[in-house]
Amino acid sequence: MKCPFCGHDDTQVKDSRPSDDGKSIRRRRECSNCHRRFTTFERFDVQQCFVVKRDGSRELFSPDKLMRSIMLAVRKRPVNKAQLEQIVVEIEQYIQDEGMSEITSQHIGDEVLRQLKKIDLVGYVRYASIYNNFDSVTDFENLLKSHDLKAPDVPTE
């Protein structure tokens, strides 16, 4: 590790300990040339995964972005944040466990729908409507029929 003060290549670790969050190691180092001390952090580096969008573009997988989209679908619904966080954690864990460097937005969306269906059907339908670009009532009816969900009877005049 190079000294940030003089650029010398020879530094010694004087002390190592886990950081407060437990996700990194804090190391105190001393330069053998200028004898100044500095701190470095060693963190676990997870392989980054890219999401391949429908238009072919790619962007870095973002658990925060996924959480925001799910929260939008269940806004004002009796769903607690812990349930939503669990969905995101499970999808993120799946990506890591499989060692994926790419995943399609379709694959992520299908998994979110599968999970939301167990938690809240209204949130499920909302997410599906955005995810599948619904533009008519027929699209909603087809979704409900394809998943054996009963649409509420709407009185006709």
Helix (H) or strand (E) holding 68: helix 63-73
**C-alpha to C-alpha distance for 59 and 94, rounded to whole angstroms:** 18
In single-letter form, the type of residue at position 6 comes to: C
Given a contact cutoff of 8 angstroms between Cβ atoms, the answer to whether 26 and 16 are in contact is: yes
Matching residue, tokens 């940030």: 4
- pLDDT higher than 90, residue 156: no
Q: Say what percent of the chain tops pLDDT 70.
A: 89
pTM of the predicted protein model: 0.61
**C-alpha to C-alpha distance for 106 and 73, rounded to whole angstroms:** 17
Q: pLDDT band at 142, cuts 50/70/90?
A: confident
